Structure 1
Amino acid sequence: MKKFLFRLVDRLTRGHKRGLLLLSDVCVAPLALFVTGLFIRSAGAGSGREWMLPPAAALLACAVSLILGMPRIKLNAYESVAILKTAAFASILTMGLALVATVAGIDVPAAGAILFGLLFFILSVGARMAMLHALLWVLQIDQKGCRVLIYGAGNTGMQLAAALRSRGTIRPIAFVDDNPALQGMVIAGLRVHPSDRIERLVRERDVTRVLLAMPSESPARLARIAQRLQVIGVDVHTVPSFAQLVGEEKLVDNLSPFTFGRFLGRQQIEDALPQSADTYVGRSVLVSGAGGSVGSELCRQLLLIRPKRIVMFEISEFALYNIDRELRAMAEGTGVEIVPVLGSVTDARMSRMVMTDYDVEVVFHAAAYKHVPLVESNPIAGLANNVLGTRTLADAAHEAGVARFILVSTDKAVRPTNVMGASKRLAELVIQDLAKRSRKTIFSMVRFGNVLGSSGSVIPLFKEQIAAGGPVTLTHEDVTRFFMTISEAARLVLLAGSFAHQGESRGGDVFVLDMGKPVKIRDLAVQMIEAAGKSVRDANNPSGDIEIVVTGLRPGEKLHEELLIGEGLLTTPHSKILRAQEDSLSELEMATALRALRSAMATGDAQAARRVILSWVEGYHPPETVAAKR
């Protein structure tokens, strides 16, 4: 029977559906009149000629319905405006029928006319609602519906629930909201549950997807919620606000933080990277700089792999507080121990204590000062943290017998023109030196380009400038950079450790990602402006919205970055990840360089520190030298 009804409904043409709606209006009018007549007779009213009114009501209903276009209103679009139109329909029909009664000499009391109008309105709306639900029920036959939870019971969530009810294949099950005042209430026919019941609802109600209907929440909080839900095993989708869809909210809100990958100029490879889970399952893993962009993403991805323990080593109290709170919420029920450690990698005692107290087996060293202009202005602090901090942490790992140590480096370390890049190259040399002498710990490095969306990267800056109405500042018309997403960067670091574990590395190798062609920053700025629904204002388009202004290269900034110092690359188990074996300093040379650097640190002599990197970092050209060449 159900399949027969489905086939019957499926074969209805648009004309058939309009005819059924018109027939509904025609039948409802005499029915409302019949009920009204019963009321009038019971009240002792009536002249005996009321039999003329039903056919008149049917004819009038047919005419008014066609004039107002009531049959053209689709059932799944029948909402407040259509209901108001039905009210107008009832009013016109009531007045018309009263006029017919007056002309025919039929005595109809005012109460009877009002009652007829109300009954017709109620029956007409009820008939359409009944037809809509019957139609949805029939259409759901033989279709596997998607059962969803709506996270957020505000205006967007309520409108989303109403919209989903008109689709036969998507069924909202309940609301989830963190507001205690809403929990336990029934909104739009759905009960509101607290967020700690999501896993139970997913299990008991067979939910496959969660829709985040909280457009006013910060991207960071949405990301945390999404990470926690993905651990449960459900798909997560975000829903924009209706104000965003019509362009009434600020432009900055329309630039989604989850779509950085569209600006790469190449296909993202994160989904194609092989899993490295076996390397870290059940292990104690330390991440330095755990509160930073790459460090925090490393922690999130590690948590999904289920290590025994994640030790988060971070110098910033605020950053450590945020990642600790996020990871603890995500780690509930996983059995993974989360350990926050507040301290600096330059503290030798703290580094040794952390390695031994938590039985660390793998170290990801992501802690670094990385903002080029700031490190250029503060070379002592930059070199102390990036070089001596790396040596301190690596020595502690070596003494503790840690199995693997992976340094997170940057393309700015290749023939650097700034102190930050030179400090990272010296850090690489430190790791290469230890790799040659270590028998227990495998040391390796990961080098990649700019990370989209990280603190200090160009996209958040452009985003703020576009939101403010411009101008967008560009340091040079021809400047280019390699780009990757934070997720890609974290995956690359995890894979470097797994390759070393698999015997793919003898230590001291530099792993690089095949990042395709470098992206021109001007092209990136234009894409972001256009993605925001704006146009570039220039000589060719003086009426454009956002202007791009060239400010000149900053101290130490290069036009083009490189990923390799020497020639020749070796393959790895993944075609998009390559391995380079580059020249390094001898043990004596490394010791001499570090001794000179420590001496400069002790006296606070910035010029002496610069002379150290000029002497020992191959290809280093100070900013003034680069400027003179131009």
Structure 2
Amino acid sequence: MSSWRDRMKGALPRFAVVAHDLAMVWLVWQALHRLRFSMAAPATLPLWSAEIALVMAAQGLVFWQVGLYRGLWRFAGVPDLWNIFKACVLGLFAIVLGLFLYNRVDAVPRTVLVLYPLVLMGMLGAPRLLYRAWKDSRIERASTASVRILILGAGRAGEALVRDLRRFGTYEPVGFLDDAVRLRGSKVQGVPVLGRVPEVAEIARETAAKLLVIAMPSADANALQRVVLACERTGLPFRMVPRLQDVLEGRSLPGELKEVAIEDLLGRKPVLPDWKAIRGWLGARSVLVTGAGGSIGSELCRQCARHGARRIALIEIDELALTQTEAALRRDFPDLEYIPVLGDCGDPAVIAYALGLSEPDAVFHAAAYKQVPLLEAQLREAVRNNVLATATVARACREAGVGTFVLISTDKAVDPVNVLGATKRLAEMTCQSLADQRSTRFVTVRFGNVLDSAGSVVPLFREQIRSGGPVTVTDPEVTRFFMTIPEACQLILQASAIGTHEAIYTLDMGEPVPIRLLAEQMIRLAGKQPGRDIAIIYTGLRPGEKLHETLFHADERYRPTQHPKILQAEPRDVSAHAIESAIAQLREASARYDRDALGQLLRMAVPEFAPVGEHPDYIESATVVAFPARNARKV
């Protein structure tokens, strides 16, 4: 019933406009006849006749077909005047045709026919322009400081946004844009639906909008890309209503407007975790996170705090990162117990001390080196941190009786072609060699590149764009799998909660993203055009990099889990004795800083390691670290 009343309320103003326009047709037709006959012989023209009815019917049909009633007087402008002119001219032809069939146009003076479209255009256009001027003057007097907002999306999010904006008082919603035909000409919370989203540039000019707001939180990436592209063409700033998931997880506040982020445009939907299972496993537990000040480690701490952990121990070698992460946790989750430990988790004394203080039920090992090109020239540190430290922490957890040990791995451990992938694969094998059914549960979680993590491509592109470019991409064809930091941490918690004693989990991450496309989208989000405002330079693949990453190994039989987007791999057989011997030899070579021996031992321990772009003997050089552009191509 309420929807019927709303439709009727929206139809009444339109009926009034139609009545006004038909009244003007009658008035102009009468006035022109009386003017014409007053200059000649006197004649009496009836106020109503079959001829006048035919004229008004023909003109009314033309008005409707031309679309004169899709716009609003409130926003009348040049396009509306052009529509009125077309309607008047076409109406004249329709009237002449109708009268010709009716009475051969014998009773209508030619002067009336010539003047009719011009006079009618003035009589229809003037009231519209005067009404707009009056409304504009009222708004200016009411609030000179309000920001005029055009909202893209007239659904529930848009309706809620209007209510929130009115509470602030400094924003004035001037209209909605929506592609739904049924909403055309209607009103939402008293704000009119003015047109379709592709018409945003024209309507923004007509309404003098100063800000665009995208209220489509459920739109997929492809739809959002089209909307953002339309917004960019206007040259106006634009924001978006946050997704419900971001609000629920505390990354955005209800009613808060956020900038469109690159993860919103990536082309894959975020994985939705089973929070009931996660809270059931994590609730009231004590957890320990290594590398707690890093991108993944700090978010893991926040997720654990948000979903029921009672105590969190943080191991971090960077004192500033440890201080900042602890302060943020205490601010956002003041009721939990925190145990910060400054030190290297690969130091047996540090990890033993932290385990004794926190008595954790679960340990998340996030500490690692992960920069692919750098690690090609830093083999010793890659082995020491990614392999030997993992072996130290994993063995200490088993000896302390920790319930679950979770290794944060990478898709680069699948068929590794670089030092990062080989060291992380050996870390996986080390954890597998320590697993048995009577002690600690060892879980490995693999995922692809993480957006906005420290040292990732997104912060690099953002800084290059801020500096005016150029943006450097290694190769036009290079692709990567991407996920957000919160999504990666949710996957880690979800995999940990599944309950398998020994497993490797990976995420079905959908389609890989071309890095070239990522760069172009980030440039556009900054309000600039790729190739025109910001150049893109292709520098060639760096040491250890390949064009395309793989998520799955041919010998690891994958099966679905209780979560539709998480797959479980069957671990390949490893020799615990061989792994233990390899770790001991790697420790000796690391203590001597013998890179040749480290390289040979790594190849022997990880037979599938097939280096790509390898520098002989892993010789360090400024060239390897700086990666200057070679054979650079610009677009």
**Structure 2-normalised TM-score?**
0.61
Distance 1:230 1:552, change over 3 A: closer
Which residue identity is paired with 1:506? H
1:397-421 deviations in Å (ceiling 9; x for gaps): 1111111011000011122222222
The Cα shift of 1:144 comes to 9.4
Which residue identity is paired with 2:387? V
1:164-186 deviations in Å (ceiling 9; x for gaps): 9x99959xxxxxxxxxxxxxxxx
Match of 2:481 in 1: 482
Which residue identity is paired with 1:314? E
Q: Would you say the 8 A contact 1:308–1:337 is kept in 2? A: yes
Q: Does 1:598 align with 2:577?
A: no
Q: Would you say the 8 A contact 2:437–2:501 is kept in 1? A: no
Q: Would you say the 8 A contact 1:406–1:496 is kept in 2? A: no
Q: Which has the larger displacement, 548-557 or 405-414?
A: 548-557
Distance 1:376 1:70, change over 3 A: same
The Cα shift of 1:480 comes to 1.6
Q: Would you say the 8 A contact 1:417–1:626 is kept in 2? A: no
The Cα shift of 1:547 comes to 2.5
Q: Would you say the 8 A contact 1:260–1:453 is kept in 2? A: no
Match of 2:140 in 1: 80
Inter-partner Cα distance in structure 1 for 2:6 and 2:511: 54
Q: Would you say the 8 A contact 1:229–1:236 is kept in 2? A: no
Inter-partner Cα distance in structure 1 for 2:581 and 2:169: 68
> Residue 616 of structure 1 is aligned with which of 605, 608, 614?
605
Distance 1:236 1:592, change over 3 A: farther
Q: Would you say the 8 A contact 1:408–1:446 is kept in 2? A: yes
Q: Would you say the 8 A contact 2:289–2:312 is kept in 1? A: yes
Match of 1:206 in 2: none
Q: Would you say the 8 A contact 1:261–1:485 is kept in 2? A: no
Distance 1:7 1:511, change over 3 A: closer
Which residue identity is paired with 2:442? F
Structure 1: which 5+ residue stretches go unaligned?
Answer: 20-65, 85-142, 152-156, 171-222, 241-255, 538-543
Give 3-state SS (helix, strand or coil) of 2:364's partner: strand
> Residue 557 of structure 1 is aligned with which of 540, 545, 563?
545
Inter-partner Cα distance in structure 2 for 1:608 and 1:315: 27
Distance 1:327 1:73, change over 3 A: farther
Inter-partner Cα distance in structure 2 for 1:438 and 1:423: 26
Which residue identity is paired with 1:470? G
Q: Does 1:579 align with 2:581?
A: no
Match of 1:95 in 2: none
Give 3-state SS (helix, strand or coil) of 2:340's partner: strand
Match of 2:112 in 1: none
Report how many aligned residue pairs link the two structures: 438
Match of 1:373 in 2: 373
The Cα shift of 1:596 comes to 1.1
1:330-367 deviations in Å (ceiling 9; x for gaps): 113xx322332222111111211211221200111111
Within-5 A mapping of 1:542-553: 544-553=532-541
Give 3-state SS (helix, strand or coil) of 1:237's partner: coil
Match of 2:433 in 1: 433
Inter-partner Cα distance in structure 2 for 1:576 and 1:7: 43
Give 3-state SS (helix, strand or coil) of 1:364's partner: strand
Inter-partner Cα distance in structure 1 for 2:264 and 2:374: 27
Q: Would you say the 8 A contact 2:273–2:490 is kept in 1? A: no
Match of 2:56 in 1: none
Give 3-state SS (helix, strand or coil) of 1:13's partner: helix
Between the aligned residues of both structures, percent identity stands at 41
Give 3-state SS (helix, strand or coil) of 2:338's partner: strand
Q: Which has the larger displacement, 449-458 or 523-532?
A: 523-532
Q: Would you say the 8 A contact 1:409–1:448 is kept in 2? A: yes
The Cα shift of 1:529 comes to 3.0
Q: Does 1:260 align with 2:263?
A: yes
Q: Does 1:516 align with 2:510?
A: yes
Distance 1:402 1:272, change over 3 A: closer
The Cα shift of 1:525 comes to 2.3
The Cα shift of 1:16 comes to 7.0
Match of 1:314 in 2: 316
> Residue 289 of structure 2 is aligned with which of 272, 275, 287?
287
Which residue identity is paired with 1:302? C
Inter-partner Cα distance in structure 2 for 1:323 and 1:396: 24
The Cα shift of 1:82 comes to 7.8
Root mean square deviation, CA, Å: 4.1
Match of 2:496 in 1: 497
Within-5 A mapping of 1:235-250: 235-238=254-257
Which residue identity is paired with 2:254? D
Match of 1:328 in 2: 330
Q: Would you say the 8 A contact 1:426–1:617 is kept in 2? A: yes
Which residue identity is paired with 1:319? A
Q: Would you say the 8 A contact 2:543–2:615 is kept in 1? A: no
Q: Would you say the 8 A contact 1:369–1:385 is kept in 2? A: yes
Which residue identity is paired with 1:494? L
Inter-partner Cα distance in structure 1 for 2:298 and 2:281: 19
Inter-partner Cα distance in structure 1 for 2:563 and 2:455: 30
The Cα shift of 1:536 comes to 3.3
Q: Does 1:459 align with 2:458?
A: yes
The Cα shift of 1:617 comes to 0.9
Inter-partner Cα distance in structure 1 for 2:142 and 2:252: 40
Distance 1:144 1:583, change over 3 A: closer
Inter-partner Cα distance in structure 2 for 1:367 and 1:487: 17
Structure 2: which 5+ residue stretches go unaligned?
Answer: 20-125, 145-158, 177-186, 191-241, 617-635
